[in-house]
Structure 1
Amino acid sequence: MGALAVHLKATYLQLRIYIWMVIILILLGRLAEFIVGLFTDSSQNRGLSDGNLLLLILLIIAIVLPLSYYKRIVHLGANRKQYFWGLQFVYAVWAAVIALFNSLWPMLEVNVFHKNNVNLIEAFHWNEFGVAGSFLYQTFFYLMTMALLSMLISGYHHFVGWLLWVLFIVAIPTGTAIPALRTHVVSFFETLLFNDSLLAGIGFNVVLFFVFLAGGWFFIRERTY
């Protein structure tokens, strides 16, 4: 557990400037909104929930760490396996933290700050599973998304990685443009994001997570620098 704590601390020190930039930008945005609200009637304006904006941190983590953390940790004596699982631990901690914040923050927004912002948790109906269910659904969805981004970024040095980038970029516009495929694309995202069953939704995300996890390990195992 001590080794995992080292990964968590080391990655935070590397990412803290990005994390605090996101938080400061959110606070500046709310300050600007407050100042404008003093002179105009902004009661009907609905912005994106602050908790949802924090999701940017997860995207930054999944992009920055595969690009820069590998060399630093290997130079300290870690091997590929230790780096890989340390990274997954860091992803899991941050995914759980943001998921917990997003599960509790809407209640504060409505009951304390009396704001009715747009919330992705409500848009995807995850709030219907309760606080615990919403937390679990979010955590596994965020983990899956981070595993996907991490796999794609880790594969930048490999031909298969570039091929995956092309496939992902082409897949959605092609799938939505062809009527025969459109139904399957819509069904995929409905199962992923709008699942009526908590277990089925989490299970689908877990399956995709392990697929992307395996892909990420394939690229890390092949990495020589």
Structure 2
Amino acid sequence: MNKTTVLLRASLLQLRLYLWIILGVIAVSVITDLIISLAMGPGNNSSVSASNLFNVLLIFVGSVLPASFFKRVINIGATRKEYYVGVLLVYAISAAFLALLNIAWLQLEMNVIRNYEHTFNILVIFHWDQFGIVGMFGYQFGAYLLLLALLNLLFSGLRHAAGWAIWAVFVATIPLFTAIASLRSKLADGLQALLFNPSLLQGFGLTFGVACLLFAGGWWFTARRSYM
């Protein structure tokens, strides 16, 4: 068994608890929505798409692995480079899997579920459904990698002064850009370009490009990270 396979299995074990928690929450949510829909009658209930709820897993993948997985894999003999390549592979697999899951579930929603209840699906909200199956996959993949790259950068730098500075800027930017009208419009324009871009090529190019830059920053912190 090569080191890449070992890292993948170790990362799955690291995330197993969070995966079971998410599965439990989603199961309760689906059962609750089903009961409400049956009680209210067809078309009178609204809910978030069940497959979209799985996207919460990205938050755990992007934070748990850089925060606590590093020391574990270093202790089993992996190098920093092997750890980071393994983590990037986990990120790519997670993004691709969730993209495919959301595409398949959207077809089920359109053909079956929406006969009984209205659903809110990010593929429709962000207008990614206009790009076809390949386009939906590509745009999701880029957007999910962007989220993972941001979390990876933030949690990879927890033990570095520059990392804390990035955290401070990130935390301060959110209320600042939402409170000031001129900055709020710039924030809206940025989100429009990243997530609501009418051009698939531009949307994927921006999300994937920014993700690569953030991953490079994550590697900078990882290369300087202590074993403790």
> Which interval holds the TM-score relative to the shorter structure?
over 0.9
1:65 matched residue in structure 2: 65
Partners of 2:182 and 2:21 lie apart in 1 by: 44
Mean alpha-carbon deviation: is it higher for 173-182 or for 131-140? 173-182
Partners of 1:186 and 1:7 lie apart in 2 by: 39
1:131 matched residue in structure 2: 133
2:172 matched residue in structure 1: 170
1:141 pairs, out of 140, 143, 159, with: 143
**Equivalent position SS for 1:117:** strand
State the shift of 1:42 in Å: 6.3
Where structure 1 has 5 or more consecutive residues not aligned to the other structure, the ranges are: none
Structure 1 stretches of at least 4 aligned residues deviating more than 6 Å after TM superposition: none
Mean alpha-carbon deviation: is it higher for 117-126 or for 174-183? 174-183
1:118 matched residue in structure 2: 120
Mean alpha-carbon deviation: is it higher for 168-177 or for 97-106? 168-177
Q: How does 1:153-192 map to 2 (within 5 A)?
A: 153-192=155-194
State the shift of 1:41 in Å: 3.5
Q: With structure 2 as the length reference, what TM-score do the two structures score? A: 0.93
2:226 matched residue in structure 1: 224
What amino acid is the match of 1:121? L
Partners of 1:38 and 1:122 lie apart in 2 by: 25
RMSD: 1.6
Mean alpha-carbon deviation: is it higher for 6-15 or for 87-96? 6-15
Deviations 1:116-152 (A, max 9, x none): 3100111000010011101110011101110110110
**Equivalent position SS for 1:37:** helix
1:28 aligns with 2:24: no
Partners of 1:176 and 1:36 lie apart in 2 by: 35
